Amino acid sequence: MSTPVRIGVLGCADIAVRRMLPAFTASPDVEVAAVASRDLSRAEEVAGRFGCRAVQGYAELLDADDVQAVYVPLPAALHAPWVEAALNAGKHVLAEKPLTTDPESTERLLDLAAKQGVALMENVMFVHHPRHEAVRRLVAEGRIGELRSFHAAFTIPPLPDGDIRYDPELGGGALADVGLYPLRAALHFLGPALEIVGARLTRGAGRRVETSGAALLGTPGGVTAHITFGMEHAYLSRYELWGSEGRITVDRAFTPPADFVPVIGLHGRTTEELRLEPADQVAATVAAFVAAVRAGSAPAGDTLRQALLLDDVRRRSA
């Protein structure tokens, strides 16, 4: 039996406390070794909740010999320097999405991880939910005929004014925070040859970052994708695949709770609802990271292609 992966957490962000630390502690394959914060009292508060030690400062945690891997939930603009420092310290890394704010940095860090012989994984959780593999099988089986187009939307209500996602210096903006989801879903289903055809980003009144956007993408074979995203909207998390003989619909697509009963809508001459067993995509992501740590590497192709597509959306909307 393999020993648990000893993981340290760089920062006490909401997603770390609310989602990832509970998932780490629930996994028999992970042991949370430490939580670091610039504020020792904050680190002590979080560490006390999850039964690990508190560390003041991120560099101090990276120096710890008993930490094999680190989770980086810092603001996006801080990902590149701290992921690089972790990799240079010989640690495996699970980094919040986006891995970095530009494709050049993403490629450099993926190359560094390969050179160091450690796993570097971006924390895009929805791709680990089994519902999306079930959708892939339906398409491959020809249940909607030939695939013609993909449509996806992810929008969330307005955030508090002081939220870091409204701060351009910290890597904020709707594209990297919520637009990443439908774009990654398009990549997931249509493959790496997907390219941006056109894009538009919109900045809400009084905001310093884009708060909504849309993009049109296409494959060399003529399949199109239309994605919409925003963070000052009514909530929507959905995608559809349209084929020559029917379509597939998926609601609550990107952030379903663990007890949610997944449903796949199959629409053709008749409408059918395929109900799956609930699945915890956070736990599945932790399991995938553990597997990557034990293998000494993580798949990198979609992470880099996603970074290039996000960059192209921004350039084409300028």
pLDDT computed for residue 1 by the predictor: 66
As a whole number, mean pLDDT of residues 78-96 equals 98
pLDDT score for 26? 98
Does residue 276 register a pLDDT over 90?
yes
Residue 298: phi and psi, rounded to 5, are -130, 150
DSSP string, 57-115: SHHHHHT-TT--EEEE-S-GGGHHHHHHHHHHTT-EEEEESSS-SSHHHHHHHHHHHHH
Return the pLDDT at 79. 98
Contact 43, 55 (CB under 8 A): yes
Catalytic residues, by residue number, are 97
Q: Is 172 left (phi over 0), alpha (psi -120 to 50) or beta?
A: beta
Alpha-carbon distance values, 148 to 133, 270, 278 (Å):
19, 19, 29
Q: What is the pLDDT of residues 208-242, one digit of tens each?
A: 999 999 999 999 999 999 999 999 999 999 999 99
In this prediction, residues 269-275 reach a mean pLDDT of 95
Mean pLDDT of 237-258: 98
pLDDT score of 176: 96
Q: Same topology for domains 5-123 and 126-279, yes or no?
A: no
What fold characterizes domain 126-279? Dihydrodipicolinate Reductase; domain 2 (3.30.360)
**Start-end of H helices in the chain:** 14-15, 21-26, 40-50, 58-62, 79-88, 103-116, 130-140, 174, 180-190, 281-295, 301-317
The fold for domain 5-123 equals Rossmann fold (3.40.50)
**Amino acid 177: pLDDT:** 97
pTM: 0.96
Mean pLDDT rounded to a whole number for the chain: 97
Q: What percent of the chain clears pLDDT 70, i.e. is strictly above it?
A: 100
User: If you average pLDDT over residues 98-123, what whole number do you get?
Assistant: 98
- Pairing outcome for strands 236-243 and 247-251: antiparallel
Q: Any bridge partners for residue 36, and if so which?
A: 10, 55
Once rounded to an integer, what is the mean pLDDT over residues 54-72?
A: 97
Q: Contact at 8 Å (CB) between 207 and 168?
A: no
Enumerate the domain spans of the chain: 5-123, 126-279
pLDDT classification of 2: cutoffs 50, 70, 90: confident
Q: For residue 12, is pLDDT > 80?
A: yes
